[in-house]
Amino acid sequence: MADEKLSLRFRNRSGAQYDFLCFQHGVSPNTPSIATLAWLVRPLASGVDLDFTWTTNCCFVWFEQGAVTPDITFKAQQSAPADPISANLVTLTSSNGAYQFGPTTGGGAAGVLTIDCDGTIPSGTVMIGIGMSGLGTHAVAAEPNFAAVFTVKPEYWISFGSFTPGQTLDDQALIKATPLAFPPNVTAMTATLDVANKWILQPGLI
């Protein structure tokens, strides 16, 4: 899958302010439990337009978050370029609690993306996954001596409401989640939220 540049214009004509969200489906891991992450998120006042532009290059991601004290939280994270053919395998390791990806290689199975967690990874402490343009789209829990294998066929979806970038999404709770398909030879789409809170999708930047 060749990388390409895509654009999405959100137009808020609803009469209210919402967080506008673009997220992805179409990722299948070798584990039954996968988290869909809030990928592209920005608040948007009524009457305002918002443009997102991204490149469809995949990446490996890991992130760890927690609390040092009730008032101090932390989030550590890293992304590494990925490609289903030439850069489809990466190893996650830990040294004294510090996580890090090793070099990516083309030594994994062709057509899928693999994150190999070595024996230094404690159970239940870090999330691993894949993303696009450097931001995570899906994640699973890392386990010691576990290889997470992802089959990636991106499908774009949009919604509105209240979101934080990177949060885990509950598909059942999303408001009017709508698939956003780019027709052949179309690299830009416009999604307008009207006064009835209905989506109007049009090719190009309107």
pLDDT digits (tens, 9 = 90+) for 4-20: 999 999 999 999 999 99
| Neighbouring C-beta atoms of residue 165, cutoff 10 Å | 14
Confidence of residue 125 (pLDDT cuts 50, 70, 90): confident
Other C-beta atoms closer than 10 Å to the C-beta of 50 total 16
pLDDT, tens digit (0-9, with 9 covering 90-100), for 36-68:
999 999 999 999 999 999 999 999 999 987 544
- Could you identify the residue written with the tokens 């990177």? 166
Residue 99 has pLDDT above 80, yes or no: yes
Q: What is the DSSP string of 39-108?
A: -EEEEE-TT-EEEEEEE--EEEEEEEEEEEETTEEEEEEEEEEEBTTTB-EEEEEEETTEEEE---BS-S
Closest to 180 (Cα-Cα) out of 191, 170, 172: 191
Helix (H, G, I), strand (E, B) or coil at 157: strand
Q: What is the DSSP letter of 67?
A: E
User: For the chain, what is the radius of gyration of the CA atoms?
Assistant: 18
pLDDT at residue 73, as a whole number? 52
Does the reported pTM lie above 0.85? yes
> What is the Cα–Cα distance from 192 to 206, expressed in whole angstroms?
9
